Amino acid sequence: MKQVGILLSGRGSNFLALSDAMEAGDIPARIALVVSNKPNAPGLKHAEERNYKAICIPSAGIEREAYDRQVVKEMQAAQVDIVCLAGFMRLLSTWFVQQYPLRILNIHPSLLPAFPGLHAQREALEWGVKVSGCTVHFVDQELDHGPILLQHAVPVLDDDTEETLSARILQHEHQIYPEALKLVCEERVRVEGRRVLTS
Ligand code: GRF
């Protein structure tokens, strides 16, 4: 049974999808700790409602690595094996990434390497791509950059707005994130360079 730590900043719907899959017994893991960097993140409230250990470590005004050291201290105290970023709106420091090599996952609402960053769905629409989607990847020190675990393609429709496209992509985020975490927890993943091979 792996111990999972969740980092979030906002709504927390991906966190809830991961939680649902673990509670249903689909993934051999449990949530050991939820950390928000925002005191009023709805995700933090959901975590409390589900009786997880949930804390806020405010990030405002704190230097990146100093902040990450506070977070990792809590993750270690909770014996976290795998960290899932679930709408965590901060870049991790190299130091943080080194503490959990190939043990930090992120979900991003585009088919990476297209449209990294904060406004992936809007940029996909503006670019005029016909297909976008979502990506679960290992986290490294660059934004939305590490080796890719799973992707799911979502067609862009002529009448899509940022909201409708985001909502359709989100449904698939909630499916592939638990699938990817399951692969990692079951140790069915091997990384060769940038390629993630599964068994
Ligand atoms: C999702 O679109 C995710 O892909 C991105 O941030 C958003 C978080 O949404 N990284 P939620 O907080 O999980 O609902």
C-alpha to C-alpha distance for 48 and 81, rounded to whole angstroms: 21
What residue's CA is closest to ligand 1, atom 2? Answer: 109
pLDDT at 12 over 90: yes
Q: What is the pLDDT of residues 56-73, one digit of tens each?
A: 999 999 999 999 999 999
Does CATH place domain 2-198 in 3.30.950.10? no
Ligand 1 atom having least distance to the Cα of 10: 12
pLDDT band at 122 (very low <50, low <70, confident <90, very high): very high
Enumerate the domain spans of the chain. Answer: 2-198
Percent with pLDDT over 90 in the chain = 99
109 lines ligand 1 (CB under 6 A): yes
What residue's CA is closest to ligand 1, atom 10? Answer: 87
CA nearest neighbour of 134 among 185, 199, 149: 149
The residues carrying an active-site annotation are 108
Q: Distances from the Cα of 110 to the Cαs of 57, 81, 142, 162, in angstroms?
A: 28, 27, 16, 12
Q: What is the pLDDT of residues 138-188, one digit of tens each?
A: 999 899 999 999 999 999 999 999 999 999 999 999 999 999 999 999 999
